[in-house]
Amino acid sequence: MQLKEVVIVGAGPAGLTAGIYAARSGLETLVFEKALAGGLVNITDRIDNFPGFPQGISGMELGDRMRQQAERFGATILTEDVKKIAKNGRQILIETDRGKHLALAAIVATGSTPKKIGVPGEEEYIGKGVSYCATCDGPLYKDKVTTVIGGGDSALQEAIYLAGLASTVHIIHRRDQLRGAKVLQDEIRRNPKIILHLNKRILSIEGEDKVTGVRVEDKATGVVETISADGVFIYVGYSPSVACLGDEFEKTPEGFVVTKSNLETSVEGVFAAGDVRAKELRQVVTAAGDGALAAMAVYTYLQSLQQSP
């Protein structure tokens, strides 16, 4: 097993930025990604708040540009699914679906995965009308009726994207106030194709061989109705992807990885960056900032290893 200087797990904005900074600092940098480099930005239609792109940029393009930049500085990106990250003496053992790797330091940038709402019909109709990715599946609903569940930035942003394709977009939210940014709220309220349903509890997703609608209950009146729809897009938040981290990694009750100010986790030599980390603001720009900080902290850590006997 060849010993690497730094292994980065996850090639989203945090992992790729860490890759840029680590490789550019001359560290031998290996990045593992189980799917396509870019991470969650790949399933974001448009990113309007990443500095330097005044007209916005497609998530897919931004992710691909970050990948190219990391590779230009010498980071190697491998398609392997990391199953376990653990301390092995003073080194870090990284087990993937393909084999084992040893590194002096690691950066966990595994991000997060969409949450499910857990109502009848959700699992049953995945791929038959239920989706967690408007950018991937939205084009299937051209001139059809779609429903978006959730009231955060993701739900509002993806509803706006869907309104460019579908005939009607229903947004169903459980409270009487939306959580998403005011700029997005203003945009959806101006869009004649978007219908807002506030204060509704989702009872089930209805269908036959594919989705036909969403059964909801008004929380104030108790009235139950079915909102007809061909597609249901669920955006009720994200859970951290921490399956590869054991109990020695301190996490919040929600499962986010706790880090020190230099982004080191409770395991010496393992750092965390991006959405997987416990923090205030989850944005592409903060993920990139984390990646830079974690890579430079690794650099300092490796220097300290050289100085200690």
Sort strands 82-88 and 130-131 into parallel, antiparallel or unpaired.
unpaired
For ligand NAP, the binding residue among 175, 189, 210, 260 (CB under 6 A) is: 175
Strand order through the sheet with 145-149: 130-131, 231-234, 145-149, 168-172, 194-197
Longest CA span, the chain: 71
| Active-site residue (options: 45, 48, 97, 137) | 137
Q: How far apart are CA 180 and CA 182, in angstroms?
A: 7
Q: Reply yes or no on whether 133 is catalytic.
A: yes
Q: Candidates 3-11, 229-237, 256-264, 301-309 — which segment interacts with ligand NAP by CB under 6 A?
A: 229-237
Site for ligand NAP contains 197 (CB under 6 A): no
Structure tokens at 262: 């230099």
- Residue closer to ligand NAP by CB (options 59, 269) is 59
Site for ligand NAP contains 117 (CB under 6 A): yes
How far is CA 36 from each of CA 11, 16, 179, 252, rounded to the nearest angstrom? 8, 12, 30, 28
Q: CB 35 → ligand NAP: shortest distance, Å?
A: 19
For ligand NAP, the binding residue among 237, 255, 266, 278 (CB under 6 A) is: 237
**122-161: which residues touch ligand NAP (CB under 6 A)?**
149-155, 157
Q: Reply yes or no on whether 244 is catalytic.
A: no
Q: What residues contact 206, with CB distance under 8 A and at least 6 apart?
A: 121, 212, 213, 214, 215, 226
For ligand NAP, the binding residue among 32, 125, 161, 235 (CB under 6 A) is: 235
Q: CB 162 → ligand NAP: shortest distance, Å?
A: 14
Give the residue among 287, 309, 302 at the shortest CA–CA distance from 39.
287
DSSP alpha helix (H) spans, 25-102:
59-72
- Residue closer to ligand NAP by CB (options 43, 263) is 43
**271-290: which residues touch ligand NAP (CB under 6 A)?**
282-283
Q: Reply yes or no on whether 143 is catalytic.
A: no
- Residue closer to ligand NAP by CB (options 233, 238) is 238
Query: Are 188 and 199 contacting, i.e. CB atoms less than 8 angstroms apart?
Result: no
Site for ligand NAP contains 204 (CB under 6 A): no
Query: Are 230 and 142 contacting, i.e. CB atoms less than 8 angstroms apart?
Result: no
Treating both helix axes as pointing N-terminal to C-terminal, what angle do 13-24 and 59-72 enclose, rounded to 10 degrees? 20
Q: How far apart are CA 194 and CA 168, in angstroms?
A: 6
Q: CB 26 → ligand NAP: shortest distance, Å?
A: 33
Site for ligand NAP contains 179 (CB under 6 A): yes
Which residues make up the interface to ligand NAP (CB under 6 A)?
49, 117, 149-155, 157, 174-175, 179, 202, 235-238, 282-283
Active site residues: 133, 136-137
